[in-house]
Structures are given as structure tokens and as C-alpha cells.
Structure 1
Amino acid sequence: MKKLILVFGFLFSGAVLAAGGAKVPLDAANNDLTDKASLQRGAMMFNNYCLGCHNMQYQRYERSFKDLDIPNKIGQEYLQFTGEKVSDHIKSAMPQDDAAKWFGAPPPDLTLVARVRGADWLYTYLRTFYADESKTFGVNNKVFPNVGMPHVLQELQGLPQETYEQRMVDGEMKPRYVGLKSDGKGVLNAEEYDDAVRDLVNYLEYVGEPGRLKLETIGKWVLAFLVVLFIFVYLLKKEYWRDVH
């Protein structure tokens, strides 16, 4: 079942987000899944800016609230907007049939997007939208050209523009692309926006594998047990073969 979910998540995300990917250097997200405050801010970011279009239908509100130390009452007040139960899955109120008409395909479910794409890909993707009037939503993306969604975080970042500078090439001055620069109309500065995106990606990575930290802890204890067991097994072997050798 998990393999089927991963396959469908990959196919639908590719259909909605773009026609193809671009090979650009990815920035390190440097997530910390033990940072509960970051995960709480990321949950707020997702529910305010992403849930309008995207489902997270394999994660329940209750599971997120419990893992992120959010009291149910607080979670319902600030993270649930359409009267869902705490036990409900996290689903968008947007009808999927309508979404398919508006975007060309239903927006992909994001429960496993961090496992499919990777945290660094998501972190770079959300920071590389830029103005492109030739596109339907007036934006494009460096990581995923021909992106089929608007820049939903434009309120926070502003609208980045491609910037160029004149460089001498073969004895002739030519414009050379040097990066993206926001128009300054966002409510956050560049550093604050990067931190906000990191929180969102941190939350998406957690949702992709909610039990990861617990499994890693169990794994460490298992390895410690095997080391101790190996010592006793080795001593037993020495004792057993002592008379033979």
C-alpha cells in the first residue's frame, strides 16, 4: 500500500506542478525534526497557505496535535477552519473536480511529498518562484519550470524578479543571470522568509514519516543490544571451542 501511495503521489505531483524538472543546485534545508516549535509553525504555515488546495489525506489532525504537543482545543481553534473533527484526516475543502478544471489536474496530496521529492528540493522550490508574465499565474520556478500553481507564499516573500549584471564575455559585454531578488513587497525579509519555508518543509518531512524519530531511537537500542549479544556469543564460542583447539 505504501508503495502504491508513493507511486501515485509522484505521478500526480508531476502532472500538476510542472511539465518537467530543471537541474539546479539545491539548497540544504537543514531540518530538525526534534524542534517542536518549528514543526508547530510549519503546521500553521501549511494549514494557512497550502490546505486551501492540497490534501494531506493520510495524516489526521489528532496525530499532528499529539506529536507536536498541541492541545486539541488550541489546534481546533488555530489549525482547523471548517469544523472538522480532531479525528478527521487533513483534507482541503476545495472540490477535486473543480480543482482539476482550474489547474489542469487535481493538486497533489502532500502527505508524502517530502519522501518523494526530498526536503532540500522542497526548500529550494518554495524559494525560487519568480515573475513570468507569460505564464497563467504570472510566475515560474527555477527548480520546476512551467510550474502549474501560483506563488502561494507571495504575501510573505513578495514577488522575486530575475536579476542580471553585465559581464565581459569574449571581449563583449553581455548580461549574465546572477539570481532572484524580491520586489520587497512581502511582509518578511529574505532571512525570515527562508526560516518560514524551513519550518514548512520541516513539517512536511515529519508528516511523510511521523514515527521516524521513535524508530530511530528503537534502532539505536537494537544496535546496542546486538553489540552486547555479540560479546556474549563470542565468549560462549571461545568457551565451547576451547577444548577442541
Structure 2
Amino acid sequence: MTDHWIVRLACAAALMFGVAVADAAEGAKTLQAGNDLSDRASLQRGAQLYMNYCSGCHALKYLRYSRMAADLGLSEEEVMNNLNFTGTPVGEPIPVTMPKAQAEKWFGKMPPDLSLIARVRGSDWVYTYLKSFYLDPTRPLGWNNTVFPNASMPNPLWEMQGLQHAVHGKPENPGEDPPVVGLKIAQPGNMDPGQYDQAVRDITNFLEYAGEPAALKRQKLGVWVILFLALLTFLAYLLKKEYWKDVH
């Protein structure tokens, strides 16, 4: 038993170290997403934004349309008419819109499924990533990202955010490329910064939900579980007093 616990602790430490190394390698400080799974309106907006701007390249193979409808307070008809662009049956997982052949032609491979991206990377990482694209003429698609350098995708939300340019600092050593020390909007989008932050927060909120849909029900049940445990503790205290009253 002791050996098993040692192995588990070692694995957990290795995982945390690996995540820390990965974040350090990608080199950007993440922002606080501030998303809230209990905000149903945010989840609904996030689903709409995801389906319109992200589902063309990224699937959610662990989330079904029917489950999304039930969890987000939408009817299956609303989901199928407004959020389903592939004609996939309501009981099936959410596929990618773009055909595989075109994805391989344009990007070299199929873009990754995003069902678990918020669980793997964290909501703060997703939120910061969507705010950190900038124009980079040296990249094949003309875009780069400070959180995920040399990302092989353009900014899908550029119309809302606008076009960002990198602000470069001085290189630490001669011959090195100047580091990106900040980002600056060069051409505004159709949203102001506050509106865009909320849009990204909504998408992040939806992706956190997609990674673990049961979390919504677990949070609701948690209150009742705590109340039950409090009542059980009180009854156990009364029972203890009854058993020990003659002793005292």
C-alpha cells in the first residue's frame, strides 16, 4: 500500500513538473480568465462563438449536441438549427466542419480536437492564447502567438479583436532575434477591448464545460451534499450525547 502511494505521488510530481516546464518553454505569462461555469448565458454565448469561429477546424468529439442542449438550457431544435452546421444527428458528437483532405492540404495535418484542451492546458492558458495572436510575416500563414510560439494557425477571431503587431525588445545576445515584449492593436476590430475580452471569456467558459460537462451537475449536487453532511454531523453529535450522558 505504501509503495503504491509513493508511486502515485511521484507521478503527480512528475506531471506538475512537466506542465511547469512546458509553460516555461512557451514563455508567456498567462492571464486570469475569470470564467464562471454557473453563468449559463456565458456558456450559451461561448457555444455560439465556438461553433461559428472554431468548429470549422476543431471538433469536440467527447461532447454530443443533445448533451450540450440539455446542459445549456437549449432545446434540441435550437441547437440543430443554430449551432449544427454539418447536419450531424443530435445524438452524435460534435464533428469538425472542414473535410480532412482540405485540412491536410492547408495545414499539413488535421487540427486537434479541443474537447479536453481546457483540462490539459487550463482555462487561463486558453483565455490568454486567444488574446495573444499577432501578425508575423515570417510565418507561413502570417500569424504567430506569444503563448504558443510558431503556432500553425491564424487568429480565428481577428475580425472581432483587430490586427495586433508585436512590440519587440532588445535581444539578450548579439545575433538573436529581438524578443516580443508586448502586443499593440494596429487596426481595431468590430469589438472594443472590453467586448473582446468577454467574448474570449465566453469561449473559454464553454471549452471548460466541454472538457467536463458533469461539472455543472456536480456543483449543484455539492451544496446538497454539504447540507447532508452538516445534518449528519449534528445527528451524530446528538447521538453521542445520548450515549455518554450517563457516563458524565
Q: Give TM-score, length-normalised by structure 2.
A: 0.79
Residue segments in structure 1 that go unaligned for 5+ positions in a row: 1-17, 167-174
Q: Supply the distance in 2 between the matched residues of 1:97 and 1:84 (Cα, whole angstroms).
A: 19
Indicate conservation of the 8 Å contact 1:21/1:145, yes or no. Answer: no
Matching of residue 147 in structure 1 with residue 186 in structure 2: no
Q: 1:218 is matched with which residue: 217, 221, 230?
A: 221
Q: Deviations over 1:129-151 (max 9, x none)?
A: 11111111111111111112111
Which residue identity lines up with residue 94 of structure 1 in the other structure?
A: M
Match of 1:131 in 2: 135
- Residue 209 of structure 1 corresponds to 212
Shift in Å at residue 234 of structure 1? Answer: 2.4
Q: Look up the match of 2:232.
A: 229
Identity over aligned residues, as a percent? Answer: 50
2:203 is the alignment partner of 1:200: yes
Aligned to 1:183, what secondary structure does the other structure show? Answer: strand
SS at match of 1:196: helix
* C-alpha deviation, 1:239, in angstroms: 2.5
- Counterpart among 73, 78, 89 of residue 85 in structure 1: 89
What one-letter code is carried by the residue in structure 2 that aligns with 1:33? L
- Rounded to whole Å, the distance in 2 between the matches of 1:53 and 1:163 is 29
Question: Could you say what secondary structure the match of 2:115 adopts?
Answer: coil
- Give the C-alpha shift of residue 23 in structure 1: 3.1
Asked if structure 2 preserves the Cα contact closer than 8 Å seen for 1:49 and 1:152, the reply is yes
Letter of the 1:227 counterpart: A
Q: What amino acid does structure 2 have at the position aligned with 1:90?
A: I
Question: 1:171-201, CA deviations, whole angstroms, 9 ceiling, x for partnerless residues?
Answer: xxxx996521122252222222111111111
Contact 1:21 1:144 in 2 (8 A): no
Which one-letter code corresponds to 1:115 in the other structure? R
Are positions 1:53 and 2:60 aligned together?
Answer: no
1:38, 1:199 within 8 Å by CA — same for their partners in 2?
yes
Distance 2:42 2:182 in 1: 28
Q: Does 1:35 align with 2:39?
A: yes
Q: Deviations over 1:110-138 (max 9, x none)?
A: 11111111111100000001111111111
| CA RMSD after TM alignment | 2.7
1:24 aligns with 2:28: yes
**Between Structure 1 and Structure 2, how many residues are aligned?**
221
Unaligned runs of 5+ in 2: 1-21, 171-177
Query: CA offset at residue 217 of structure 1?
Result: 2.1
Mapped contact 1:53–1:92 kept (Cα < 8 A):
yes
The reply on whether 1:180 has 2:183 as its aligned counterpart is yes
Using CA pairs under 8 Å that are at least 6 residues apart, name the structure with larger relative contact order, 1 or 2: 1
1:164 positional shift = 5.4
Deviations 1:21-53 (A, max 9, x none): 423221111112222222111111111111111
